[in-house]
């Protein structure tokens, strides 16, 4: 979608899939749906069809074209593990991530069952790759905590949580096997509030369990006004980022050619 992103914890977004459908309370005020539906019916726009799910195979090669290493949020406008995305297409996305290993990829899903199943089977190589980070969304206890358990069963090299929007106190969270936790409040019209003690509870558990903690935002109707300071400071921690060399332009052109004929 963009090789420059305003999302605080990433550098770029890559959307080989567009559109999604709601599965839990965290989806109620989906920013991606709100954005996409503004352009429904606009001829030629990437979201001409609104938030209807669509595969975008012409975007598969984008990370190979980007020569500067980036943190890349995969499918910021969708969910790679949506039931209408085939295993074969997900495997194609993973082949690109494995080939363009000078980037760090951040994949988030609310469909943890399917992700865990595939990471233990068809996507085993991608699960083991330290430059590919696999995460689940955690908005509350009922829906979010079971996703963490599913992610843990898959045992990816780097597992992370996006606790956004945080809708309630999560209580005690088992962070065994988790390398990174992002926390943020909901933003935009109708944003549901997030209490400081909920955030502090997650921060405290990250600290005690040795997990990198990133505080994204307080959110609210005007998130620019509420900022991202927690108790007087910002938290911008990350897991270790693997630095792989960038191939020459000719080698990257070869990767693209191979991808085209895969």
Per-residue pLDDT of 212-243, as tens digits, reads 999 999 998 888 889 999 999 999 999 999 99
Which whole number is the average pLDDT over 121-130?
Answer: 98
Structure token digits, residue 52:
């209807």
- Mean residue pLDDT of the chain comes to 96
Extract long-range pairs of 116-121: CB within 8 Å, 24+ residues apart.
116/150, 116/151, 116/153, 116/154, 118/81, 118/87, 118/90, 119/154, 119/155, 119/156, 120/153, 120/154, 120/155
Mean pLDDT within 170-174: 97
Helices 112-119 and 141-154 meet at what angle, rounded to 10?
Answer: 0
Please, is 262 exposed, middle or buried when counting C-beta atoms within 10 Å of its C-beta (0-12, 13-18, 19+)?
exposed
Residue 261 confidence (pLDDT) above 80: no
Look up residue 2 and give its DSSP letter. Answer: B
Over residues 65-77, mean pLDDT: 97
Per-residue confidence band for 3, with pLDDT thresholds at 50, 70 and 90: low
Give the mean pLDDT of 7-18: 97
Contact 141, 111 (CB under 8 A): no
pLDDT of residue 6: 87
State the pLDDT confidence band at 1, using cuts at 50, 70 and 90: very low
SS3 content of the chain, % helix, strand, coil (to 5): 35, 20, 50
pTM comes to 0.96
**What is the sign of the dihedral through the CA atoms of 250, 252, 257 and 261?**
positive
Out of 98-102, 246-250, 255-259, pick the least confident. 255-259
């Amino acid at each position: 979608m963009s090789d420059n992103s305003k999302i605080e914890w990433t550098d770029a977004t890559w959307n080989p899939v567009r559109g999604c459908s709601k599965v839990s309370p965290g989806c109620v005020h989906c920013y991606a749906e709100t954005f996409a539906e503004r352009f429904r019916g606009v001829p030629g726009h990437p979201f001409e069809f609104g938030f209807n799910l669509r595969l975008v195979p012409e975007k598969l090669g984008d990370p190979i074209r980007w020569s500067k290493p980036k943190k890349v949020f995969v499918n910021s406008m969708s969910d790679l593990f949506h039931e209408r995305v085939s295993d074969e297409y997900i495997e194609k996305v993973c082949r690109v991530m494995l080939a363009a290993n000078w980037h760090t990829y951040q994949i988030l899903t609310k469909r943890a069952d399917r992700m865990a199943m595939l990471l233990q089977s068809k996507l085993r190589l991608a699960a083991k790759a330290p430059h590919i980070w696999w995460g689940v969304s955690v908005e509350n206890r009922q829906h979010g905590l079971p996703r963490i358990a599913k992610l843990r069963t898959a045992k990816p090299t780097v597992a992370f949580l996006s606790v956004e929007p945080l809708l309630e106190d999560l209580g005690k969270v088992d962070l065994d096997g988790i390398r990174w936790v992002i926390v943020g409040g909901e933003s935009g019209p109708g944003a549901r509030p997030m209490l400081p003690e909920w955030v502090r509870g997650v921060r405290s558990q990250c600290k005690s369990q040795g997990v990198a903690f990133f505080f994204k935002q307080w959110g609210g109707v005007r998130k620019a006004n509420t900022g991202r300071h927690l108790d007087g400071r910002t938290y911008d921690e990350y897991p270790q980022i693997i630095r792989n060399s960038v191939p020459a332009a000719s080698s990257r052109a070869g990767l693209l050619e191979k991808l085209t004929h895969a």
